[in-house]
Amino acid sequence: MTDRVNAVIDAIKKSSLKQVILYGPPGTGKTHLAQRVAEELVSSTLKSPKLFEQHWKAFVEFLRRNYLNRQFTARTKSGKVKTAKVVKVNDKQVRLEIEGVARGVGIRRFKKKVAEEAEYDPSKFKKGGSGDVPAELLMSLFLGQFLNHFVKANLASFITLVQFHPSYSYEDFVRGIRAKTTEGQVVYETVNKTFGHVCEQALANPEKTFVLIVDEINRANLPAVLGELIYGLEYRGRPVETPYEINGTFTLVVPENLVVIGTMNTADRSIGSIDYAVRRRFLFFPVRADKKAITNQKARRLYEQVVERLFTPERLSVDFQDAAEDLKVGHTYFLGTDEEVAYKFTYQVVPLIEEYLKDGVFKNEEVVKEVFTDTFGKEGENWHELSPETVLKSLRAF
């Protein structure tokens, strides 16, 4: 996990709140970070020993399909490489040959050990001398591979992504009315929408973690969209009255095992503009531009030449001088090959700077033109008409 992913997960786990908003300027990777956090939260419960019992048959089938009668190599504690092979697999036992010597691992005993250790970490199973490759160690490695495969195949079932927009409503997000035709007649029924559906799934699977990612959460009228769920998010597990009845009840329960991750573009709106009742029920985690993430040194130089010079007090208008970090163009536009960066700079960064200029973020156009001419020469005078070829030429000259 990256430091950012770790930091967000720690904030969620150490707080009583299970909803967080990742906020920052455009291009800082907020949605990508939300997805990474969601995957890690879900993965940790899918790999939990509590769930192993449900998947042992799938694990045995995984062994049979991928390893039965196939020779592979394993490294001992001393570094020596030895050959091994799975020669028999059934629900009770796995038979292996390590350097031609038969070894057996009982499924029941191995399951018990995994449950006791509460881990599938191979280091928990290292036994024997430096020249030995324990059969249980190989089994634990197989189990690790199986779980990684299992998690990848099932992540999508536990992570839901929705994007808010200005016209988004409670009826779009929580519960609403749907029209359907039955025997030629139009019938109206109350149905769960995205949030209500995810709550139902999480309640039915309390041992697993579900994550709802709300992209651009600040674009909607949050108090109107969330309604009574503002209370439900804080008091998990308690029934909350809704305006709509489903299955004989008007209540909806927000379960403990549901995490909500929102992303917020601070170029559109500041945290201070969010309703206080909503604000105090969310954690807020800043996602700033990170120059260190730009591994292409020429692209980093372009970032320094343009972005870091533009977003300084001497070039920002008085009203925006304290908001530089909330507006500074993010590093993700500068990731990739020279050609990719040139196109992203031309068709994403330049239009964004144009919008900032129109909105009065910069003192005047002259301060923008100065930075562009210093970087691109005479062609920078018409900075809003730069071509990818011009940007690429300057990149390669760095």
Cβ-contact 120, 143 below 8 angstroms: yes
Describe the strand order of the beta sheet including 71-75 as a list of residue ranges: 71-75, 81-89, 93-98, 101-106
Which is it for strands 239-246 and 249-253: parallel, antiparallel or unpaired? antiparallel
At residue 85's C-alpha, the angle toward residues 79 and 90, to 5°, is 130
pTM: predicted TM-score of the whole model, two decimal places = 0.84
Question: Domains (ranges, CATH) in the chain?
Answer: 3-48+156-286 (3.40.50.300), 291-397 (no CATH)
How far, CA to CA in Å, does 117 sit from each of 28, 39, 146, 303?
Answer: 39, 23, 18, 48
From first to last of the 398 residues of the chain, give the pLDDT tens digit.
588 999 999 999 998 899 999 999 999 999 999 999 999 999 888 877 666 667 778 888 888 888 888 887 766 566 666 787 888 888 888 888 877 788 888 877 777 777 665 444 544 444 444 444 567 777 777 877 888 888 888 889 999 999 999 999 999 999 999 888 887 888 888 999 999 999 999 999 998 999 999 999 989 999 999 998 899 998 999 999 999 999 899 999 999 999 999 999 998 766 667 888 888 999 999 999 999 999 999 999 999 999 999 999 999 999 999 889 999 999 999 999 999 999 999 999 999 999 999 999 999 999 999 999 999 999 999 999 999 999 999 999 98
SS3 196: helix
